[in-house]
Amino acid sequence: MARAKDGKPTINDVARLAGVSKKTVSRVINRSPLLNAQTREKVEAVIAELGYVPNPQARALALRRNFLIGLIHDNPNAQMVLGVQEGILSAIRDTEFALVVRPVNRRSPDMLDDVRTFLDQQRLFGVLLLPPISENDALAQLCDELGVTYVRMGSVRLDEDVHMVASNDREAVAKAVGYLIGQGHRRIGFVAGPEGFRSAAERALGYRDALDSAGVAIDETIMAEGNYTFETGIAAGEKLLAASPRPSAIFASNDEMAAGVLHAARSIGMSVPEDLSIIGFDDTAIAAHIWPPLTTVRWPIQAMAKAAAIKLIDPVEARDQPSHFLSDLIERASVAPL
Amino acid sequence: MARAKDGKPTINDVARLAGVSKKTVSRVINRSPLLNAQTREKVEAVIAELGYVPNPQARALALRRNFLIGLIHDNPNAQMVLGVQEGILSAIRDTEFALVVRPVNRRSPDMLDDVRTFLDQQRLFGVLLLPPISENDALAQLCDELGVTYVRMGSVRLDEDVHMVASNDREAVAKAVGYLIGQGHRRIGFVAGPEGFRSAAERALGYRDALDSAGVAIDETIMAEGNYTFETGIAAGEKLLAASPRPSAIFASNDEMAAGVLHAARSIGMSVPEDLSIIGFDDTAIAAHIWPPLTTVRWPIQAMAKAAAIKLIDPVEARDQPSHFLSDLIERASVAPL
DNA sequence: TTGTATGCGTTATCAT
DNA sequence: ATGATAACGCATACAA
C-alpha cells in the first residue's frame, strides 16, 4: 500500500518507498543543499512515480504561515482590481501559492480591526495593498506589527522600494498635457480628483508642471474638482465650458469624469474633438467604448501587480523587480490639433 | 504563562486555565449539544478573557478541508466578477471563511488539469463557478469527483438546486423585448451572443418568445450574431441597419454589443432614441456612461453570489436560499416610443 | 457529560 | 549526510 486511504500519497509513503526518513524527503522538497545527489535522485524518482504533492495545510501548520497572498482593496475600479488579480496570478502560477481577496470599506471606522482579524486568522504570507487604501500608513504599519510582509501599489512612491510598486502619475499627466500643448492647445482646462487622494494631488502637479514648462499661466477659472464619478465630471465640464474664453482642451483626472466632460460638451452642442479635445486617465472600459474613443493614460497594472507579487513571495527575485513604472498615453480619437 | 511563545493563545491554554481537557474546549467551540452548561460557561469565559481564536490551519489539517471558498471564473466582465466577490464576502463576513480567487482560461486545453491541481492542493471547502465556465459539465463533475461542493451561477437552471443559482435570461429578455413592443415597436432587430454560450441561446429564445406572443413574425434579415464585443456589435449594427425596412428598435444580447450598435447607428447619422431604440444586457459600467444612457437588463449579481456562498458554507441555511432570480429591466434613455 | 490516546502531514531539534 | 522524535493546534474514536 503506497498511499493513504483517501488516495493522496503523503510524505510517509514517499519515505517508505524510497527507503529513507521523512526528514530526508522533506529536505528534497525544500531543496536543502546538504544532500547526497544519489539520495535526492532516488527520492525524486519516487515522488514523480507517486505524483506526490506536499499538503499545504500541514505545511501551514508546521511553518505557522500560510501560502496565501492577500489582496486588500477598496474597489477603486473593477477593471483595475481584476487586472491586479490577473497580474498576481501570473506570478504565482505553478507555485503553491493562492490568492485570497479581501474587499474592505475605507470609510468604515473598524476597517483596521477588520483587517487585523483577517490577517491574524489567515496568517497570510503577504498582502498587496491597492490604492486608494494603500495610501493609509496606519494600514501598512499594522501589517508590520502583525509580521505580514506587504507591498503597496500607488501613484507615487510612499514607502521603501521593497514595499512599493509605484507609477509616476505626475510625470504621466505632464506628458499627456504636454501632448495637448504639442497639438497647439494653450487654454487647457483641468478636472482634479477628490482631495485626500494622493493620485489626485500627483495628477494636479503634473498638470502644473506641463503648463509651467510651456510658459502657460495657471487659470483657476478653467480648473474644477470632482470625486472621480461621471456625475461630478458633468458638473466640472459645465463649469469649465462656461468660462470665457472657453478652453480648447480639457484633461480630466480619470476616465469617468472625462466621460462626464464629454457629455457636458455634447449637451451644449459642441463636438469632440473638433470643438474640444479631451484626455482622461485609467483606460477603463468606458474609455474605449464611448464616442469618440477617449485618449487616456494607462497604468501598466498587470506588470505592476506581477512585480508586487514576486516581491512578496520570492525574496531573491524581489531584488530584480522594479518599483517604478511608467504609464502609457493611449492615443485614441478625442484629441485634435487646435 | 497563559499563552504560547508567539502570543496567540491555543486550545491548550484555554483548557489549562479552565481546568478542563482540550476535548471539552473543542466541544465548546464546535457547539456540541452534550455539554454541561456550567462547564460551557466556564470555558467560554476563559476564551473571552484570552481572546482565543481557533487556528484555521490546524483545523484544516485535522479536518482535511480548508475554510476557503473558491471563485473560479473566466473573466466574463470585470464588474460581474467584482460584484460576485462582494456578494460572497457579505456571506462570509464574520465567519472564519476566506475567499480565494482563481481565474482560468476557458480555451486552454489543460484548463481542467489546472483546476484539478488547484482544488486538489488547496482542499477548498467549496467553489463557486461563474459563467461562462459554469456551463462546462465536465468541470462540475470534476468538483464532484474531488469531493468539493460546488455551486454554479448561470443564465438558466443547468443543475440541481443545491448546485445552482440561476437567473432567467429567457424570461428577462422576453420582458425587455415585450417592453419595446409595448412602446409600439414591431420591427425589432436582434443581436445574438456567440454560439456555444448558454446565455446567448437563452436570450435568443426570449426574443422569439416575445415576438411570438405579440404575433410578430421572425425576420432573419434583422438578426445577427456577435461575440459579446464592441467591435462585433458595430458589425451587427451595420448589418441590421442596412436591412429594409430598417428596424425601429434593436435588442443586443449584451451592453458592449449594444454600445457597438449605438456607434453604428450614429455613424450613419441616426439619433438614438429618436430614430432607433436600443436595449442591452448586463448593466455594465458603459451602459450608464455612454450617451444616451442605455436601457438594459441587470442580474441581481450580489444577491445571487451571496445565496451561492451560503449554499456552500451553511447546509442548514442553504435550504432557504433561492436558486432562481429575476433580472431587472433598467430603464434609461435609449428607448423611445415609436 | 468528560477525558485519554491518537492521528492529520509537515517541519524543527538534536542526535549520530 | 541522514534519522528518530518531538512539535504545530485541533479533531475523532473510544473509554470512563
- DSSP labels, A290-313: SSSPPBEEE--HHHHHHHHHHHHH
Burial class (CB in 10 A: 0-12, 13-18, 19+), A152: buried
Percent of chain A with pLDDT over 70: 98
Q: Which residues of A116-127 are buried (b: 16+ CB within 10 A; e: fewer)?
A: bebbebbbbbbb
Cell numbers for A293, please give them. Answer: 474613443
Report yes or no on A225 lying in a domain. Answer: yes
CATH of the domain at A130: 3.40.50.2300
- Residue A7: pLDDT band with limits 50, 70, 90: low
Nearest to B114 by CA among B123, B104, B129: B104
In B, which residues are within 8 Å of A290 by CB distance? 286, 289-291
- Rounded to whole angstroms, the Cα distance separating B258 from B279 reads 7
Scanning the structure block, which residue is given the C-alpha cell 424570461? B171
Q: Which of A58, A99, A262 sits opposite B61 (nearest CB)?
A: A58
Domain that holds residue A109: 68-167+302-326
Residue B5, pLDDT > 90, answer no
pLDDT of residue A120: 80
A289/A211 same-domain check: yes
Cell numbers for A327, please give them. Answer: 504609464
A92/A160 same-domain check: yes
Q: Is-contact B167 B303, C-beta < 8 A?
A: no
Q: Is-contact A123 A64, C-beta < 8 A?
A: yes
B162/B309 same-domain check: yes
Report yes or no on A9 lying in a domain. Answer: no
- Residue A4: pLDDT band with limits 50, 70, 90: very low
Taking the C1' atom of every nucleotide in all shown strands and the CA of A34, the nearest one is D1
Taking the C1' atom of every nucleotide in all shown strands and the CA of A61, the nearest one is D8
B188/B276 same-domain check: yes
**A41 CB less than 7 Å from any atom of strand D:** no
Give the CA distances from residue B289 to residues A228, A231, A240, B177, B272, in Å, rounded to whole numbers and listed in that order.
Answer: 13, 10, 20, 22, 15
B297/B234 same-domain check: yes
Name the residue type at position B15. A
Cell numbers for A199, please give them. Answer: 493620485
Report yes or no on B256 lying in a domain. Answer: yes
pLDDT of residue B1: 38
pLDDT of residue B168: 97
Report yes or no on A28 lying in a domain. Answer: no
pLDDT, one tens digit per residue, over B157-201 is: 999 999 999 999 999 999 999 999 999 999 999 999 999 999 999
Scanning the structure block, which residue is given the C-alpha cell 500500500? A1
A178/A292 same-domain check: yes
Nearest to B331 by CA among B292, B274, B304: B292
- Bridge-based pairing of strands A126-129 and A188-192 is unpaired
Instruction: Please report, rounded to whole angstroms, the spatial distance between the CA atom of protein residue A22 and the C1' atom of nucleotide D3.
Output: 9
Nearest to B226 by CA among B177, B188, B281: B281
Report yes or no on A22 lying in a domain. Answer: no
Q: Do B57 and A53 touch (CB under 8 A)?
A: no
How big is the CA angle at A36 (ends A33 and A42), to the nearest 5 degrees? Answer: 115
**Which parts of B14-93 are beta strand (E)?**
68-73
Read off the pLDDT of each residue in A299-312 and give the average, rounded to a whole number: 97
pLDDT of residue B271: 96
Report yes or no on B337 lying in a domain. Answer: no
- The domain total for chain A is 2
Around Cβ B3, how many Cβ atoms within 10 Å? 15
pLDDT, one tens digit per residue, over A262-275 is: 999 999 999 999 99
A266/A210 same-domain check: yes
pLDDT, one tens digit per residue, over A97-130 is: 999 999 999 999 999 998 988 888 888 999 999 9
- Rounded to whole angstroms, the Cα distance separating B148 from B164 reads 15
A214/A306 same-domain check: no
Distance from CA of A218 to the nearest CA of B (A): 30
Read off the pLDDT of each residue in A217-223 and give the average, rounded to a whole number: 97
Residue A321, φ and ψ in degrees, nearest 5: -85, 135
B310/B162 same-domain check: yes
